[in-house]
Structure formats: structure tokens, C-alpha cells
Structure 1
């Protein structure tokens, strides 16, 4: 059976399919974890420790070395995305309660949901799009996007809006696994390769554990709003990202549009933040459902819009070299062979 093949056909499938299975378990057999106990209970309730290990491995996978062009492009996109999420949070904090809207079409919408949906880009989706429609430098810009992973940026934005006060040690605790992994991965390339392999492996595990905290009744209530949120993320973050890509990054807007998605890992942030600050618990479940819907919507719509925009810019300005078009660099052996031939 080609189970993984079909899961990969679903945008963010390795995260969302286990999450949905976990949500089914929680919705119809909410006491399953307590009933089985032991390792089964640990797997169903282990969101935080699983994410801690994943965050460590993510840090270890990032190479501190990168070209100036890659850093400029990725830095531009990352900072713009975070800045837009911060502005949205500042405005929304004036109108939305900490626990989120409780009634009407916008029931479940909260500042926590907005930030989590907007402050992280789906780096894998971005890289795959830019491999086809961008330059190799633009495709490599996902390097810094990995730094958005985890709750740190969400916590910083919430703290800056005055909606939450996080003690310094809380911030340190949130990023310490990442920093330790980052340090080890750059001190020893073998460790980077070893731990880096686990980043993808852990995704379905924390997806399932996260799903075990979700009641599908909440997703049913926020379904249409989740679609609206996904479209809003593309519009609200996509326009500034395209402008920043053109004016600062030196691109034509394609990379900015490709970065206007919601990261699959963002689904975990509402629960993590609520674990640290219990006042967000009433909003966490609805926020998780909304962010999950936004991941699906943006994963489908962003590649379509990016392809259209890239083709439009190609017609307007002529052929632009993509990462796929870039010539392969010769290996050391090929260089030596060419040098030997040139001296004969």
C-alpha cells in the first residue's frame, strides 16, 4: 500500500492527517488516553515534549553559513512577515477579547489565532515553489524561515501588544532546545545530519498528539471562518511581502507571494502558548482549528497564485532563470579533469 504517497498528495498531509486522526479519537473517545495509560497515554498527551525534541532537531538542521544574497532575501521575507503579524495583532487587540469571540460568524476568532496564522511561513512549501518559479538564491531563502518555527515569535508579539507578560526565563525556556541544537549542529556537521533527519519524522507524532486535544465540533463551528482566515492571510501578508521582495530583496514579487502561507508547525503554537499562559486556554482550541484550516487553504491557493504571478512577470520582463534552470556546479573531480586536459 502506498499510504505515504497519498498522504503527501494532501497539503501539509504529514501534519494534518495524523492531527485529524487524533481529533477523531478525542472527539469520539475522549477518555482513550486514560483508559490505555502507559505509552499510549504519553503519545496522546505528549505535545510539549515531542515538540521540544522537534525544536531541538530543527535548530540542529540549520547551517549558520549562507550567502549574503540568501540572507538578504530570507531576512527581508521573515522580518516583513513578523512585522505584518505584529501590526495585525496591535489592531486586533483593541477589538478582540483574550479568550476570543464567543458568538456569531466570528466565534473562535482571537488575537492568538491571527498571530499564529500569520507569523510563520510554510518553509517547505515556499522552497518547493521557488525551485520551480524562482532563482536558486530565492529558493534558498527558506533557511531563515526555519527560525520562525516554534512559539517564540508568537510570544514576542503577544508580549508587545500587552496581552501577555512572559517572564525572561519563559522566553529562554522556549528557545533553549532550539539554540542548543543549533550550536551542536554547527559545531559538528555529523550531528547536524543525524538530528536533522528527525525533523520530518517527528511531524506526524506531534500532529497526532495535537489532534488529541481538538474536538471536531469546534472545527465544524469554525470551518467557514477558517477558510476566510486563510484567504485573509494571503492578502494581508502577501501584499507587503511582495512589495518588500521587490523594493528590498531585489526580486519581482514572486518570492513574497510564495511566502504568504501559514506554516504547518503553526498549528501547535496556540496550545503551547496556552500551556505557558493559562489565560489563553479558552481560545487555544478554536485557534488551533482555525490555524489548521488556514494551513490547508494557503497550501492550496498560494502555489496557484504564485505560478500565475511568475508567468505574468515572465511575459512582462522576459525569461527569468529559475533554480531548476541554474547550471549545476562542477564537482572537484570534474574541475581537476578539465585542468589536466588544459595542460596537455
Structure 2
């Protein structure tokens, strides 16, 4: 039975489907997590060990990030990375000063869900699209810089700076430490990079299952529409900003469109942040579902828009070439 092929046909399937399976199990058996025998078992560790699985995932992911990045790669990667983080930060500040609600809810979306969705790019999607439609190999390699977005660090930093949450200083160190450990190991030894990087694909469905087990679907039925809205906002707002930045750094704007997405692992961020800041524990489950919905929406829309933008750019270049003859 081609289980993996079926899952791969779903945008972000390796993240979304295990997450839904975990959520369904939790919804059907809401008190299973309170069972002492279950909690002390290996099965309980799998379903309730999201933090440990995420730490392993970030070490694996960090091993793929290179310290060195030359010229065009550095310029392209830094501009798209900063653009993504800056947009999330500006939105966070706007929410802080315009939404008086304790959880800073707007249109059913919390600041936690919004910042998490806006601040992390779907790297696999970006590299696949730029590999297909990009004009230079360096466009693909730019994600080596953009991958610094991964994990809860920048979400926590933005929420903290915007005054939407308060974190002890060491929380930032502990949040980014697994990623740094992976980066150091991967850059010191290429064999370690190859070895550790292979674990990424395996760990995604495992931590997604654990994250899903923390969600009772009865409590988040209203998250669907707001999640779709969140995904649309990510594509439109970050798309406009990143296209402009891409053009300013010598690109056609294609890289900006390809980066206007939400990474599958961003769905793990609300739980990670809530583990540090208790004020978000009550909305972490809803935020997880909303960010997961944004992952699906952006995974569908971004490839369509990128393909259209690429064809449009090719037509414009053909017209310019004809005019020069």
C-alpha cells in the first residue's frame, strides 16, 4: 500500500496528517494523557514527548545550515530572512497597540498564531520552486540563510520585544541551543552533517503526532476559517514585501513569491512558546491548528502564484529581448 505516496500528495502531509491523527486520538480518548500507565510507557513518551522530539529535529535541521555564504547567496538570503522577520515584528507591534484583549485576539487569531505563521518560511517548498523556476543555483542556496527562522526563537523574540509576552533571558538561549549545536556539528564535520540531516524527514511526522495529541478537536472547531484567513494574509502581505526586497537585491521577485509561505514546523512553535510563557497555554492548541491551516493554504497558493509569476516574467523578458533586436 503506497502510504507515503498518498501522504506526499497532501501539501505539508508529513506534518499535517500525523498531527490530525494525534488530535483525533486525543478527541476520542480525552483522558488518556492522565492515565499513569500510559504516561510511563514508551507509547506515552511518543505521544507526549513533543519537546524532546522537537529538540532532536532542531539539531538535525541546524546541521544543514552553513556558516559560510558568499556574495549573492548572503545578500539574497539575508534580505528575505530579514523581510520575513520584520513583517512579523511590525504586525506584532500593531497588535500590541491596537488590540486590548489579554490574548491579543484579532479575527479569531492570537498574536501567537500570527507571529508564528508569518516568521517561518517553508524551506522545502522554496527550494523546490526556485530549483524549477529560478534562474540561478544561488537562489536555491539562499535558504541556507533563511533557515535561521526555524524554531521558536524569533517568535519568542518578536513577542517579547512587542510586549506581548515576557520570557527569562535564558529561555532564548535554551530555545536556540539545539539549532546551534546542530550548526556547529554540521560545519565542523561534513559526515556529521550528512548523518544528522537524514533525521529531519523521520522526525517531522513523529513530533507532529505528539503535537496533535495535545489538541482536542472539540475545542478548535472554530479555528478552520481563521486559519484560512491567516494563510491568505501570509501569502499576500509577506509576498508583496519579499517581492520588493528580492528585486532590490538583483532578483526578479520570483524568490520573494516562493518564500511567502509558512513552514510545516511552524505549527510546533505555539506549543514550544507556551511551554516557556504560561500566559499562552490556554490558546496554544488553537494556535497550532490555525498555523497548520496556514501551512496548507500557503503550500497550495504559493506554487500556483510562483508558476504564474515565472511565466509572466519570461514573457516580459521576451518582449524586452525583441525590442532590443
TM-score normalised per structure 1: 0.88
Q: Give the corresponding residue for 1:127.
A: 127
Q: Give the corresponding residue for 1:89.
A: 92
Contact persistence 1:117–1:294 (CA under 8 A): yes
Q: What SS does structure 2 have at the residue aligned with 1:251?
A: coil
- Offset of residue 94 of structure 1: 2.1
Q: Give the corresponding residue for 1:59.
A: 62
> Residues of 1 paired with 2:219 and 2:31: CA distance?
18
Q: Give the corresponding residue for 1:254.
A: 254
> Residues of 2 paired with 1:276 and 1:106: CA distance?
25
> Residues of 1 paired with 2:281 and 2:17: CA distance?
24
> Residues of 2 paired with 1:49 and 1:283: CA distance?
21
After superposition, where does 1:92-241 map in structure 2 within 5 Å?
92-96=95-99, 97-101=101-105, 106-107=107-108, 109-134=109-134, 135-241=136-242
Q: What SS does structure 1 have at the residue aligned with 2:59?
A: helix
CA-to-partner distance for each residue in 1:127-171, whole Å, 9 max, x for gaps?
001111112111211111221110000011011101222222111
CA-to-partner distance for each residue in 1:165-217, whole Å, 9 max, x for gaps?
22221111111111112111111111111111111110000000000011212
Contact persistence 2:95–2:104 (CA under 8 A): no
Q: Give the corresponding residue for 2:15.
A: 15
Compared CA separation, residues 311 and 168, structure 1 to 2 (3 A): same
> Residues of 2 paired with 1:287 and 1:64: CA distance?
33
Contact persistence 1:99–1:281 (CA under 8 A): no
Q: What SS does structure 1 have at the residue aligned with 2:164?
A: coil
Q: Give the corresponding residue for 2:289.
A: 289
Q: What SS does structure 2 have at the residue aligned with 1:318?
A: helix
Contact persistence 2:156–2:273 (CA under 8 A): yes
> Residues of 2 paired with 1:230 and 1:21: CA distance?
22
> Residues of 2 paired with 1:239 and 1:217: CA distance?
36
Which stretches in structure 1 are left out of the alignment for 5+ residues? 321-344
Q: Give the corresponding residue for 1:36.
A: 38
Q: What SS does structure 2 have at the residue aligned with 1:220?
A: coil
> Residues of 1 paired with 2:220 and 2:155: CA distance?
22
- Offset of residue 123 of structure 1: 0.5
Higher mean displacement: 91-100 or 153-162: 91-100
TM-score normalised per structure 2: 0.93
Compared CA separation, residues 186 and 222, structure 1 to 2 (3 A): same
> Residues of 2 paired with 1:168 and 1:291: CA distance?
26
Q: Give the corresponding residue for 2:24.
A: 24
Between Structure 1 and Structure 2, whose CA radius of gyration is higher? Answer: 1
> Residues of 2 paired with 1:98 and 1:301: CA distance?
32
Which stretches in structure 2 are left out of the alignment for 5+ residues? 321-325
Count of equivalent residues: 315
CA-to-partner distance for each residue in 1:272-299, whole Å, 9 max, x for gaps?
1011000111221111111010000000
- Offset of residue 100 of structure 1: 4.6
> Residues of 1 paired with 2:48 and 2:197: CA distance?
24
Contact persistence 2:262–2:294 (CA under 8 A): yes
Contact persistence 1:218–1:289 (CA under 8 A): no
Compared CA separation, residues 45 and 215, structure 1 to 2 (3 A): same
